[in-house]
Structure 1
């Protein structure tokens, strides 16, 4: 049984949900910021970083709203998700990331996401 806990991160983004969704759900978009190389076949993304590879199956997605992925090596109940919300107060686009990590590793994993999201923001001119 996994001891991992779910955590959630939020990032305000200055772009439209449709543009952001392209960067979160397509091989070309993900290759811009998430991995060195990204392929997609039979509902599975193949990600490569410095020669190592991981695969993630698309569990669910709703265009311009969210995509939920499952690392093929991870327990079935674990996933990571990119969700796009619009703030009711500011009308700003918000990227919400849900992921799982060991409790003591949440801070480190959050920093890794922060680094990745900074790269995403640079790519979309945010």
Structure 2
């Protein structure tokens, strides 16, 4: 997820059914403890809104810049000095549920330099499988 000023950005959106209530699912999306169980090697918090995500032993700084409890969360990635940048990478997690069928869906928006749709799909399929194993569905 590192930021690069020279590459154009790509918005990848995917939605998955998840067999868990929004109340159970949300902490896995919005807390360092929950995210570290399925999303990356390690997640730590600097304060209530700043996070350090570790992939391949490299730290990436992000800020939770919006959230709605049991509904959605957005992480905006910061530069190595923990500052905001124009057109920054971000991740959105949104929990939707169908009133009619009672099904719960997780929509992921991954905005980054990664443009390979197949690679992104495979990566998110694998990550969401990890998440489903954690939440029991």
TM class, shorter-length? 0.7 to 0.9
More helix by share: 1
In the alignment, structure 2 segments of 5+ residues that lack a partner are none
Length-normalised TM-score, structure 2:
0.81
What displacement does 1:72 show? Answer: 1.1
Number of aligned positions between the proteins: 126
- Correspondence for 1:56 among 55, 62, 73: 62
More strand by share: 1
The residue that corresponds to 1:70 in the other structure is: 76
What displacement does 1:75 show? Answer: 5.0
The residue that corresponds to 1:28 in the other structure is: 33
- Provide the alpha-carbon RMSD of the alignment: 2.0
Deviations 1:32-84 (A, max 9, x none): 10122211123111112342111111110000000001111385334210000
The residue that corresponds to 1:114 in the other structure is: 125
In the alignment, structure 1 segments of 5+ residues that lack a partner are none
- Correspondence for 2:44 among 39, 57, 75: 39
Length-normalised TM-score, structure 1:
0.88
